[in-house]
Chains A and B, each alone.
Chain A
Amino acid sequence: MNFSEFQNQARLYVIGALEPEEVEEFENARKKFGKKGEEFITKCYALHEAFALSLRPAKASSTIKERLMAMVKAKQQA
């Protein structure tokens, strides 16, 4: 696998779209490309952020934050 093919596979990998038989080959290539490969994978994870930002924000129930913070305080006191 050359680096261009690795880049294509990496973009599929970060969204979980590689098939099981492709994952093994990808992991081998990942080792082969080392730091350069890891840096590219890290950049690909930014796709997650972009996909989320492409959506119109949704309003959460007003009680969610109250419940969350109560749980956090309870956990801290435990």
Chain B
Amino acid sequence: MEPSEVIASTRRKPKKRVRLSKPRAQPRSVVPQLEPGAPSDFELMKAIQAADPDALSQLYDRYNGILKALILRVIHNEAEADDLLQEIFMEIWKQAKNFSAQKGKPLGWMVTLARRRAIDGLRKKQAYARAEERLQNEIEQQPDAWVHNATEEEILLSDTRALIRKVIRGLPSAQQQAIDLAFFRGMSQREIAAKTNTPLGTVKTRLELGLKKIYDGLKELRDEL
């Protein structure tokens, strides 16, 4: 069955779509499924630690789109995002020896690294003021910033993404916005309070409640969380 048929089928039978509130027979992973026989992320990281460029090439093919999206979400500049993506994969190559499987999964490690570099890059390149202006426009035009990235049709293309987004979209928009500003902009609670003209205590509560709901929601999607 072609992907388009799957989507069409899903549309015709909306009642058969996965519901987060029901217990699952098999726990889901939030990580995209691999082709049969493909090396796991852990195997690729081990090979990179042994200085195998082909492993880095495979890891790049697997995750460049996700990391590019994350970087782009932070710095909002296509060319800078591409440059930073290259720098981040170079850092993955150099820092692979610091990765420990006991402390988490390769994708989580890469995302943490990429986010930190993107936020650092945003500040270092003094693009902050420009991004702030764009952000202000986003907030004014579309407070529910997390939602505007994809249409419903696009969400249907990825079951994993759709499920995660469903958890996030279940939050009140004020909680989404607070988490968005903290995670993707690297803002402190005080900065968020100033940006949104909200009392500091309210920002803290929004972050705490929102993150807890996401964390609890994700528990239904993955066995390891």
Contacts and interface: CB of A to CB of B under 8 A. Distances in A.
Contact of A11 (B53, B165, B189, B211): B211
A41 B8 CA distance: 41
Contacts of B150: 56
Contact of A57 (B65, B89, B167, B218): B65
A68 B224 CA distance: 32
A48 B222 contact: no
Interface of B: 30-32, 51, 53, 56-57, 60-61, 64-70, 72-73, 81-82, 85-86, 89-90, 93, 103-105, 107-108, 111-112, 114-115, 146, 149-150, 154, 158, 160-161, 164-165, 167-168, 179, 182-184, 186-190, 204, 207-208, 211-212, 214-215, 218, 222, 224-225
Contacts of A73: 53
Given A15-B183, A16-B182, A69-B57, A46 B93 contact: no
Given A16-B182, A72-B93, A45 B56 contact: no
Given A19-B189, A72-B53, 8 more contacts: A8-B211, A15-B183, A15-B211, A17-B207, A54-B164, A55-B161, A58-B69, A64-B85
Contacts of A50: 30, 164, 167, 214, 218
B142 to A, nearest CB: 16
Query: Chain B CB within 10 Å — which of A11, A59, A60 has the most?
Result: A60
A24 B10 CA distance: 50
Contacts of A48: 108, 111-112, 115, 183
Given A46-B108, A46-B225, A64 B149 contact: no
A42 B101 CA distance: 11
Contacts of B165: 54
A65 B64 contact: yes
Contacts of B158: 56
B95 to A, nearest CB: 13
A78 interface: no
A44 interface: yes
Contacts of B160: 53
B65 A49 contact: no
A72 B120 CA distance: 23
16 contacts: A8-B211, A15-B183, A19-B189, A46-B104, A46-B225, A49-B31, A49-B107, A50-B30, A53-B30, A53-B164, A54-B146, A56-B161, A59-B65, A68-B60, A69-B53, A72-B93
Contacts of A28: none
Given A16-B182, A47-B211, A73-B53, A52 B69 contact: yes
A61 B107 CA distance: 21
